[in-house]
Amino acid sequence: NAGVMQNPRHLVRRRGQEARLRCSPMKGHSHVYWYRQLPEEGLKFMVYLQKENIIDESGMPKERFSAEFPKEGPSILRIQQVVRGDSAAYFCASSPGPRNEQYFGPGTRLTVT
Amino acid sequence: GQQLNQSPQSMFIQEGEDVSMNCTSSSIFNTWLWYKQDPGEGPVLLIALYKAGELTSNGRLTAQFGITRKDSFLNISASIPSDVGIYFCAGLPGYALNFGKGTSLLVTP
CB contact under 8 A, B92 and A99: yes
CB contact under 8 A, B45 and A101: yes
* Interatomic CA distance for residues B50 and B37, integer angstroms: 22
* Interatomic CA distance for residues A33 and A45, integer angstroms: 8
Q: What is the pLDDT of residues A21-76, one digit of tens each?
A: 999 999 999 999 999 998 878 899 999 999 889 999 999 999 999 999 999 999 99
DSSP per-residue codes, chain A: ----EEE-SEEEE-TT--EEEEEEPPTT--EEEEEEE-TTS-EEEEEEEETTEEEE-TTS-SSSEEEE--SSS-EEEEE-S--GGG-EEEEEEEESSTTS--EE---EEEEE-
Site from A101, A108, A109 to mutate, B interface, most B CB atoms within 10 angstroms: A101
CA–CA min distance A99, chain B (Å): 5
Nearest-5° Cα angle at A107, A99 to A74: 70
CA–CA min distance A9, chain B (Å): 9
A55 interfaces chain B, CB cutoff of 8 Å: yes
CA–CA min distance B44, chain A (Å): 7
Nearest Cα neighbor of A98 from A59, A49, A60 is A49
Task: Calculate what percentage of chain B has a pLDDT beyond 90.
Answer: 91
Give me the mean pLDDT over the B73-80 stretch. 97
What's the pLDDT at B60? 97
What does the DSSP 8-state code read for residue B83? G
Give me the mean pLDDT over the A80-84 stretch. 97
B107 interfaces chain A, CB cutoff of 8 Å: no
* Interatomic CA distance for residues B4 and B24, integer angstroms: 6
CB contact under 8 A, B96 and A103: no
Nearest Cα neighbor of A92 from B2, B43, B93 is B43
Dihedral of the CA atoms A48, A51, A52, A53 (nearest 10)? -30
A10 interfaces chain B, CB cutoff of 8 Å: no
